[in-house]
Each structure stands twice: as C-alpha cells, then as structure tokens.
A and B are shown apart, each in its own frame.
Chain A
Amino acid sequence: MDSLHAAAAKSLAMRTRLHPAEIAFWLCAVASYFLLPGKHLILSEIAIMALFALSVDLLLGYAGIVSLGHAAFFGVGAYVAGLLGKYGYGEPVLGLVVGGFGAAVFGFATSFLVLRGTDLTRLMVTLGVALVFYEIANKAGFTGGADGLQGVMMGPVIGLFEFDIFGHVAYAYSLIVLFVMIMAARRIVGSPFGLSLVAIKGNPLRARAVGVPVNARLVGVYTLAAFYAGVAGALLAQTQAFVSLDVLAFHRSADGLLVLLIGGAGYLYGGVIGAVIFKLMQDQIAALTPQYWQFWIGLFLVALVIIGRDRLIAGPAALLNLLRRRS
C-alpha cells in the first residue's frame, strides 16, 4: 500500500516538474522586458489578458464549465483594487490580494447558481450574473457609474517602484504576478484536486461513482477561477490607475474565451500564447482599419471553428505533450 502511495506521489511530482519549454518561455518573457522597452504598455495588457484567460482556463480547460460572464469577477477585482487606491490604501500587492479575495467571495456565492442545470442554462446564468453586476456598478454611487472611477492613486510597488507613464514598472509587476500565478496554478492542477477536476470534466457520473465529491470540487474551482480573475482585474486597475464599467462588459468575457481558445485550453499556457497572438492581431488590424477591425476578428473566429480549433492550435499543445513524454 505504501509503495502504491509512493508511486502515486512520484507520478504527481513528475507531472509538476518544469519543462524545458516553459523555462525557455519565461526566459523569452524576461528578455522581452529588456529588448522591447517601447512596447511595455501593450505587453502589460497582454500579461493581464493572459492572467484573465488563465482563470477561464481553470474553469473551461480543467473543469469543462463554459462561462459567458467571467468578466463579473474581473470587474469585482478591478473595482476593489481601484477603490482601495482611491481611499488611500494604494499599496499594490495588498490591493491585488484583497481584490482577488473579493472576487473569490462573489465567485463562491454565485457558484451555487451556476452549477445547476445544463450547459445552456449555465451559459445563460453566467451571462445574467455578469449583467446584474454590470447594472449594479452602473447604478451605484461609489463606482462612479458610466464615468468610471476617477482619482485612483497608486503607491509604489513594495514601496520602491513608482508606476511610470512608459509602463516599465507596470510590465515588470504584471509579469511577476503572472509568473507567480501560473506557478501556483501548476501546483493546483497537478494536485489530486486538479486531477479530480479533469475526471469530472471527462465524465461527471463516473467521477461521482468513484467517490469524487463533484459539486464541492466544482464550487472550489469556480471560486478559484474567480480569485484569479479578480487578481487580473486588480492588476488592470492598478496599472491604469482607472476603472470603468468596461471591466464588466460582455465583450471582456467573450475575449477571455477567445484568447484561451486561440492558445488552446487545458495546459495553462494557452491563455498566454493566445493573449500574445490576439493582442498583436488586434493592434495591427485596428491600426490598419480603425473602423472595421471587428470584421476581421469575426472572420478569424468563424474560420477558427470551421477549420477546427485542433488543427489550427494543435501545434503548441502537441509540442508540449512531446516534451512531457520525454522528460
């Protein structure tokens, strides 16, 4: 029996070991900081988008929950961090943590609504919850409504680094946060909890039969994803020193899904790869045709589905699998 435990623990440890590809990726990320000093603004946005897509990945890629309203938690995190900054608690790291926990509380509370019913009901309820959040933010006095939250003053990161207009500090900060969050996510999905999620996604009935507490696990992952989204939102609020209703808008939820699927779901780095591709694409197209860029994004989506996601995106995932087998 002990040997079985040991073998199980060993295989889990194997799964969570860093791959050469990952190390290479992070080296690239660090290099980008020094090689592209003029691009830090968009790079911070990419990092934030990647973190948001990562939180969608936890839901979709690992637990199979399709949400059309994940922006709700992004928005909660953003507003919490923004309000903290406005009322004199501008220490960024504190804001991140509080923003994340704020979102997690809401995620936990709404998870019970979401986990009932079928796929379709879920889509609608997540959408509905996000809309209600949007309306609350629109109507409430403390959020600044449609004008956005003015007067957010951020302190320096860990008391040393002031945010600058070129986004240097913002990018370094976002990148470090993203790194920490991905490493934490790796531990989580490699743990028994993460493995049980994959089992639930594969076949909820069978998972229940072998004794996995399905509902509790789903509530857990929903709360976790909300936490991640909240941190991403808080990051945005802090690096922009401004929060608007847009953090809760439908298109943010849609973008999160889209970004994740460009990069591929279920291996944690999909969101990052997707965010890089999506943002660069959006930026390029929007600069060429500011009025009609949506058309091309739409065309891309249609093509993505018709041709098949797997065929377009099999590349990075397959590569990773190959490496996984080698190591």
Chain B
Amino acid sequence: MLTILFDGVAYGMLLFVIACGLAITLGLMNFVNLAHGAFAMAGGYVAVVLANRYGVPFLLCLPLAFIASALIGLLLERTLYVRVYGKSHLDQVLFTIGLVFMSVAAVDYVMGSQQQFINLPEWLRGRIDIMGVGVGRYRLLIIVICGALTILLQSILSRSSFGAKLRASVDDARVARGLGIPVDRIFAITFAVGSGLAGLGGALGAEILGLDPTFPLKFMIYFLIVVTVGGTSGVTGPLVAALLLGVADVAGKYYVPQIGSFVIYTIMIVVLILRPQGLFARAR
C-alpha cells in the first residue's frame, strides 16, 4: 500500500517537473503549447547521448539536459513562438502540433525509432527498505530532485523581484511595459526555463516513462491534464494535480486494472465540469 503511494508520488513528481513549464506558458502567458513534450524529449535524448556515448556521469547529465532544452526553447521562442503569442488559440494549437510532428520525424531520422535507455550508475539501481516499505532508489532520487525544484520555483515566483515582474507582465503587459519592465525578455526567460525544466524531467523520466520519438504525442495528454486540472495560477495547483494524477493512475492500475486507464481521464472531466478554471484557479 505504502509502496504504491510512493510510486504514485514519484510518478506525479515527474509529471509535475515536466509539466510545470507548460503551466507557466499556459497560465501566465496564456499560450497553448502542445509541443511542450518535444522539449522534454530533447532533454531526454541529450542525457542519453551524453551518458551512453561520452560516459558523462548521470547526475551531471541532468543540468546539461536542462541547459540544452532551455537553449532550444529560447531559440524557438525568439524566432517562432514570439510571432504566435498574439494569435488565437486555434492558431497556437495548429502551430504547436506542427512542431510536434516535425520533432517526432526529426528525432526518428537522427536517432532511430527504437527506445533509448540511460545506463544508470550502480548506486541508483535496486531498492532500499525504509521502515518496511520497499523504496526504489531511483524513484527516491526523483522525489528529492523534484521536491527541491518545486520549493525553488515557488520561492522565485512569489518572493523574487523577477517573479513579481513576471506576474505583472502577465496581468497587464501594456502597463508593465509602461513601467519599464522588459516584458519580452521576461517571457523569453520564462519560456526557456520552462523548456529547460521539461528537458530535465525528460532526462529523469527516460528511465520510467521510456524514451522514443513518439514521446511528445504519447504524453501530451498527461501534461495537459496536469495543467488544466491544477489550474494555472502558480505552481501549487499543478503540483497537487500531478501528485493526485500520479497516485490515482498507479493506484487505479493496481487495484482495478480493468478500468485503470479510465481513471485519469474521468478525474479530469469531473474536475473540469465542477471547476472549469481548474482546482486552484485565480479569482478573475
């Protein structure tokens, strides 16, 4: 029972780290980015190539994956995304689906279509017993890393001047510009960080979620669920939603395997009917 809970939490944490970037772009910039999974995939592949071909230690791969995805995010944001911010949601959906298609085919072309794995160091394999509960070491690492990131993110958003400027830019970009806040730059940085986090999550998740060129399509729905159920007012909502989904998904498959796959969709629909703005919506 506790093991299931633990697995669910680890899974949820992973979803959260990947999806929180999406929560920021969607919630703060009001931009529907279906290609978010592609950044996670990029991070995953960067980590795989570094770890397996060049023997970079696994823990060093994670920040490198973050940087690589963040740079890709920054580049795309400056060149393409920036032209789509002002367009309708429909345009944004089409544009980002297009990006997904391109990323899937390009990765397939470069890396081949088979699944990739990271060779984990010995000390991350197997499991340890904590007070009678079997705990996978790797999942424990995920929880630690993701937990630290969450606290960091929350404090940046709510306490730092950058967070304040970001919130101001989102609330009213025009006024923020008038006050001398560099709105475009703030958006670009935010987007890059969100993409980087996705990359980091992709690198962490390669072990558990699997990594192949269809990754962005496979998990798109999961990320979207996290964001829409959690609401988009900050990072707490998506975090709670991700944990809820992770635990519900794992527990559902454990206890009622026949309908395991329905659980998350049903939760999503029910929540959205009751609270169209998500669980933790800002009062508008």
Q: Indicate yes or no for A touching B, C-beta below 8 A.
A: yes
Interface residues on B, range: 35 or more
Contacts of A297 in B (CB 8 A): 98, 101
B261 to A121, Cβ gap below 8 A? no
Q: Is A58 an interface residue (CB 8 A)?
A: no
B80 to A302, Cβ gap below 8 A? yes
Interface residue ranges of B260-275 to A (CB < 8 Å): 261-262, 265-266, 268-269, 272-273
Q: How far is the CB of B231 from chain A (nearest CB, A)?
A: 10
The answer to whether residues A135 and B84 also contact, given A116-B273, A295-B102 and a CB cut-off of 8 A, is: no
Q: How many chain A residues touch the partner (CB < 8 A)? A: 40
Q: Quick one: CB contact mask for B81-107 with A, threshold 8 Å, 1 for yes?
A: 001100101111111011111111110
Q: In the complex, which residue of chain A has the Cβ closest to the Cβ of B95?
A: A305
Contacts of B269 in A (CB 8 A): 113, 125, 128-129, 132
B276 to A294, Cβ gap below 8 A? no
A299 to B93, Cβ gap below 8 A? no
Q: Is A120 an interface residue (CB 8 A)?
A: yes
Bound CA span A305–B81, Å: 10
The answer to whether residues A68 and B228 also contact, given A113-B269, A127-B221, A305-B87 and a CB cut-off of 8 A, is: no
Contacts of A131 in B (CB 8 A): 221, 265
Q: Quick one: CB contact mask for A173-185 with B, threshold 8 Å, 1 for yes?
A: 0000000000000
B32 to A298, Cβ gap below 8 A? no
Bound CA span A300–B97, Å: 11
Contacts of B98 in A (CB 8 A): 297-302, 304-305
Q: In the complex, which residue of chain B has the Cβ closest to the Cβ of A305?
A: B95
Q: In the complex, which residue of chain A has the Cβ closest to the Cβ of B106?
A: A295
Contacts of A68 in B (CB 8 A): 93
Selected contact of A124 from candidates B84, B92, B105, B272, CB within 8 Å: B272
Bound CA span A293–B95, Å: 17
Q: A66-B89, A294-B105, A302-B102 are in contact. List 6 more A-B contacts (CB 8 A).
A: A118-B277, A120-B89, A292-B105, A298-B99, A298-B101, A304-B98
Contacts of A113 in B (CB 8 A): 269, 272-273
B265 to A295, Cβ gap below 8 A? no
B101 to A295, Cβ gap below 8 A? yes
Bound CA span A153–B90, Å: 40
Interface residue ranges of B13-36 to A (CB < 8 Å): 26, 32
Q: Is A60 an interface residue (CB 8 A)?
A: yes
Contacts of A302 in B (CB 8 A): 80, 95, 98-99, 102
Q: Is B123 an interface residue (CB 8 A)?
A: no
Q: Quick one: CB contact mask for B229-270 with A, threshold 8 Å, 1 for yes?
A: 000000000000000000000000000001101100110110
A254 to B97, Cβ gap below 8 A? yes
A-B pairs, top 4 by smallest CB distance, nearest first, are: A301-B98, A117-B276, A298-B101, A295-B105
Contacts of A300 in B (CB 8 A): 98
Q: Is A277 an interface residue (CB 8 A)?
A: no
